[in-house]
Amino acid sequence: MRDWKTIFNSLSDSEKDKVAVLRVMECANGVMQYAYRDKQIFAYSTYETRKAMKFSMSCMKKMQIPLKEETIAFEPETEKLLREVRDIYISGFKHGNDDDLNEYMRSSGACIRALGKERIVKAKDILAQNVTKLILDQYVPSFVTHIFKRDHIKTVRLNETGNPIFWASNLEKLMSFGLSFPVNAPKQAQKALETVKGLFQSQSVLIIAPRGYALGTDHPAMQWLTWAGLRSWKQHNGWSYKVEREELLHNPPDIIILEKVGNALDLSGQMIRDMELSQGLHKNSLLLGAQSKYWNCPGPWTIQWLQDLRQAIK
């Protein structure tokens, strides 16, 4: 484990100022996507969201942020550090590496603490003052001002955000924090959850993500499936684990869910399809394809997917 606290604290003040702007941009990019998916009042249209994401992702990949009169760029050592952290993020969140996920969370916390509240608020102001004109031209995420609209940053601690059990209570916490939701949003969330609770009859399910990794019992998507009455094919604590071919053939699950990309399955899906055809896996397991968004970012949209899944099993 790296000493992230020392690493980020050792950055010069000028580099910390620039890192703070990038971190606000990163957070804004995430909020933009969730705002669009959740149909928030400040969400962009589909076209605008794509434009804004393109700009934000370009800033994060190039490690440069164009403002009105200057372009923020980092010293070589700082850029190297930020790219290392980004690689850890991708490995942890996109590829299901539990160790890297934990390492990223450690680095992220150390980074924010090293920057401090005052510098984060200043970074918000820099973006708010500099990107206003660019919003019209390149659709830079204007909701940066929504995230830090108060003079002082406040924090709210949510329960495990991907777990459906906490959906309604987290909405209540966010509402008490000052975010705008319909008054009956928590009750609607609980009512929606009840429509899929126990929908299945304890069939075993295996979700295989890209590169042959299965989702563990701690993964939010698996928690949604468990809520709906399914059970994990393998009780593995953590977000993911490697699927062993022989174990899968010896003890096949009732349902295998594979990633579907357009009209085709990903590489893991093709591997399973080969096993199905060559070794008779289809005799014991039902193979289904689904878009990865249902397990990468489970949420309210997962309810309809669970209902569709139930119909497919029938």
Average pLDDT over residues 191-207: 87
Average pLDDT over residues 235-241: 81
Question: What is the DSSP code string of the chain?
Answer: ---HHHHHHTS-HHHHHHHHHHHHHHHHHHHHHHHHHTT-TTPPPHHHHHHHHHHHHHHHHHTEEE-SS-EEE--HHHHHHHHHHHHHHIIIIIS--HHHHHHHHHHHHHHHHHH-HHHHHHHHHHHHHHSHHHHHHH---TTHHHHT-SSS------S-TT-GGGHHHHHHHHHHHT----TTHHHHHHHHHHTTTT-S-S-EEEEEEGGGEEE-TTSHHHHHHHHTT-EESS---SSEEEPPHHHHHHS--SEEEEEEETTEE-HHHHHHHHHHHHH-GGGT-EEEEE-THHHHS-STHHHHHHHHHHHHH-
Residue-wise pLDDT for 65-121, tens only, equals: 888 788 999 999 999 999 999 999 888 877 878 788 888 888 988 898 899 888 888
Q: In the chain, where are the structural domains located? A: 4-155, 204-313
Q: What integer pLDDT is reported at residue 33 of this predicted model?
A: 77
CATH topology classification for 204-313: Rossmann fold (3.40.50)
Of 48-52, 289-293, 298-302, 306-310, the one with minimum mean pLDDT is 289-293
Of 7-11, 72-76, 167-171, 295-299, the one with minimum mean pLDDT is 295-299
* The model's pTM: 0.49
